């Protein structure tokens, strides 16, 4: 019984960890990292829905498809580990809906780990980190 509880706890912990997105760590202060990432996201052509150092950056939903639509967006959060070290967490979300005669609401957003990793790697390369 205890063994099953431990296994269940490990499975839940792995699932929670998988839904956090990809992380980048950089040796700079929060303000400098925030400005660099915000400018790079703008250069990449993403439409910014909201942006602040405290809440992070959220891009607007990009919709693909005709009847079966997929909406995707990024959430980028900033964590100040120390005055000279900042962690950037990049999380890509996807939501789906059917748009026929009556448009259905969006599904619950789900983390796309592959896209999160790809976007984090792209940011890391573009910023030279």
Identify the weakest region by mean pLDDT among 18-22, 26-30, 68-72.
Answer: 18-22
Question: Which domains, ranges and CATH numbers included, belong to the chain?
Answer: 2-127 (3.30.310)
Q: Which two tokens stand for residue 98?
A: 């059917």
pLDDT at 65: 94
The pLDDT assigned to 121 comes to: 95
Sequence-separated (6 or more) residues with CB below 8 Å from residue 105: 97
| 95, β-bridge pairs | 71
Q: What is the pLDDT of residue 100?
A: 87
pLDDT in tens, 91-129: 999 999 999 889 899 999 999 999 999 999 999 999 998
38-91 pLDDT, tens digit each: 999 999 999 999 999 999 999 999 999 999 999 999 999 999 999 999 999 999
Band of residue 12 on the pLDDT scale cut at 50, 70, 90: very low
pTM: 0.80
Strands (E), 1-129: 22-26, 48-52, 56-59, 62-64, 68-82, 85-98, 110-111
Mean pLDDT of 30-44: 95
Looking at residue 129, its pLDDT comes to: 86
């Amino acid at each position: 019984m205890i063994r099953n509880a431990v296994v269940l706890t490990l499975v839940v912990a792995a699932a929670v960890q998988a839904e956090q997105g990809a992380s980048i760590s950089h040796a700079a202060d929060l303000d400098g990292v925030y400005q660099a990432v915000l400018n790079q996201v703008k250069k990449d052509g993403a439409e910014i829905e909201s942006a602040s150092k405290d809440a992070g950056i959220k891009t607007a939903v990009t919709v693909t498809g005709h009847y079966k639509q997929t909406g995707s967006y990024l959430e980028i959060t900033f964590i100040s580990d120390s005055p000279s070290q900042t962690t950037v967490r990049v999380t890509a979300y996807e939501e789906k809906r059917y748009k026929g005669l009556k448009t259905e609401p969006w599904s619950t957003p789900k983390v796309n780990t592959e896209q999160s990793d790809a976007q984090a790697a792209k940011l890391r390369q573009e910023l030279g980190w």
